[in-house]
C-alpha cells in the first residue's frame, strides 16, 4: 500500500531518493516499474537496499531509458556485473544533461569499465564520477586518459578499491593533468603503490581540496612528489595518507612544504613507518598531522 501511494507521485517528481529504504520484493518491483512514468526525473538515488526480484534490473534499465532529463544518477550496490553494465552503456548517450553518476559496488570488470568510459564521453557536462569498489584496472584507466580530458567540468573522481597497476597509474596521471577543475580525488586502495606520477599530476589541479591516497603502501617517493606540488594547491583542505609506507625522512620534507599551504586542515597518517616518538615530535611542531585512526 505504501509503495502504491508513493508511486502515484512519481510522474510529477523531479527528484527521487529511495536509498536505505526496505521494501518487500513485490513492493520494490512496483516502485521500479512506476519509474517508467518518471520521464522528467532529474535526480535518482536508488542504492540496492530493496529486496528485489531477479528481473528488477531489466525493469529499471527500461525505466532509465525514458529519463532523458536525468542529471544525477546513483545506483550503488546493484551488482549489475557485465550484463547489466552493457545495458546501461546503451542508455548513456541519451543522457546529455548528466552531471553526476555513481556506480560503486557493481562488480564492473575492467573490460566493461573501458566501454563505460567510452560511452561517458557523450556526457560533456559531467561533474562527478564515482566508480569505487569494482574490478577496474589498466584498461579502464587507459580509457580515462582518453575520455576525461573532454570533461572540463569534472570536479570529483572516486575510483577507490579497484585493481590498477603501474600502467594504470600512468594513465590516471595523464587523465588528472587535464582536470583543471578537479576538487576531490579518491584513490584509496587502488592496487598499486606506484602513485608518484599521479601525485605529481595534481600540480595541474589548482582547485583541488581533498586527496585520498590511503591504503596503497606508498613510499616516500609519493610524499616527495606531494611536497613539490603543495605550493600550487592553495585550496587543499584534506590529504589522506593512511596505511602507507611513509618514513620520518619523507614526512619531514612534506611538513616543510606545509608552510606554503595554509588552507590545509588535516593530513591523515595512521599506519605508516613513523615511530610513536617521532609521531609525537611531528605532532608538536605541526598540529595538522593526525596519526590516529579517528
Assess contact for 271 and 249: CB atoms under 8 A.
no
Domains and CATH numbers, the chain: 1-70 (no CATH), 71-290 (3.80.10.10)
C-alpha cell of 244? 602507507
Given this model, what pLDDT does residue 26 score? 74
| pLDDT of 22 | 66
Alpha-carbon Rg of the chain, whole angstroms?
21
Q: What's residue 50's pLDDT?
A: 56
- Residue recorded with cell 596505511: 243
The dihedral through the CA atoms of 71, 68, 14, 26 has a sign that is negative
- The predicted structure's pLDDT at residue 5: 61
Transcribe 103-114 into DSSP letters: --SS---HHHHH
C-alpha cell at 46: 536508488
Q: Determine the pLDDT at residue 99.
A: 99
What sign has the CA pseudo-torsion 240, 243, 247, 248? Answer: positive
For 89, the 3-state DSSP assignment is: helix
Strand ranges of the sheet holding 156-158, from the earlier edge strand across to the other edge? 15-17, 43-45, 72-74, 100-102, 128-130, 156-158, 184-186, 210-212, 238-240, 266-268, 289-290
Listed in order, strand segments (DSSP E) in 77-215 are: 100-102, 128-130, 156-158, 184-186, 210-212
Q: Per-residue pLDDT tens, the chain, 294 aa: give them.
A: 555 666 667 777 888 887 766 666 777 777 888 888 888 899 999 887 555 656 677 888 888 998 999 999 999 988 888 988 999 999 999 999 999 999 999 999 999 999 999 999 999 999 999 999 999 999 999 999 999 999 999 999 999 999 999 999 999 999 999 999 999 999 999 999 999 999 999 999 999 999 999 999 999 999 999 999 999 999 999 999 999 999 999 999 999 999 999 999 999 999 999 999 999 999 999 999 999 987
Amino acid at each position: 500500500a505504501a509503495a502504491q501511494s508513493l508511486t502515484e507521485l512519481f510522474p510529477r517528481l523531479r527528484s527521487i531518493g529511495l536509498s536505505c529504504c526496505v521494501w518487500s520484493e513485490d513492493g520494490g518491483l512496483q516502485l521500479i516499474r512506476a519509474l517508467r512514468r518518471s520521464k522528467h526525473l532529474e535526480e535518482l538515488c536508488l542504492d540496492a537496499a530493496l529486496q528485489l526480484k531477479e528481473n528488477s534490473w531489466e525493469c529499471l534499465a527500461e525505466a532509465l531509458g525514458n529519463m532523458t532529463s536525468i542529471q544525477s544518477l546513483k545506483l550503488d550496490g546493484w551488482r549489475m556485473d557485465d550484463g547489466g553494465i552493457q545495458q546501461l552503456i546503451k542508455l548513456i548517450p541519451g543522457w546529455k544533461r548528466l552531471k553526476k553518476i555513481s556506480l560503486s559496488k557493481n562488480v564492473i570488470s575492467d573490460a566493461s569499465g573501458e566501454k563505460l568510459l567510452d560511452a561517458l564521453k557523450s556526457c560533456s557536462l559531467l561533474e562527478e564520477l564515482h566508480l569505487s569498489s569494482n574490478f577496474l584496472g589498466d584498461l579502464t584507466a587507459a580509457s580515462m586518459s582518453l575520455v576525461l580530458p573532454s570533461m572540463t567540468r569534472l570536479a570529483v573522481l572516486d575510483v577507490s578499491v579497484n585493481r590498477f597497476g603501474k600502467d594504470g597509474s600512468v594513465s590516471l596521471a595523464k587523465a588528472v593533468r587535464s582536470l583543471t577543475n578537479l576538487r576531490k580525488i579518491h584513490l584509496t586502495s587502488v592496487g598499486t603503490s606506484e602513485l608518484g606520477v599521479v601525485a605529481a599530476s595534481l600540480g595541474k589541479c589548482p582547485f583541488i581540496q581533498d586527496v585520498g591516497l590511503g591504503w596503497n603502501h606508498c613510499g616516500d617517493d609519493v610524499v616527495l612528489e606531494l611536497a613539490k606540488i603543495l605550493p600550487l594547491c592553495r585550496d587543499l583542505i584534506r590529504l589522506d595518507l593512511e596505511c602507507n609506507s611513509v618514513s620520518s625522512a619523507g614526512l619531514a620534507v612534506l611538513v616543510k612544504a606545509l608552510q606554503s599551504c595554509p588552507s590545509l586542515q588535516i593530513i591523515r597518517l595512521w599506519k605508516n613507518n613513523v615511530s610513536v616518538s617521532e609521531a609525537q615530535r611531528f605532532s608538536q611542531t605541526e598540529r595538522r598531522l593526525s596519526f590516529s585512526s579517528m
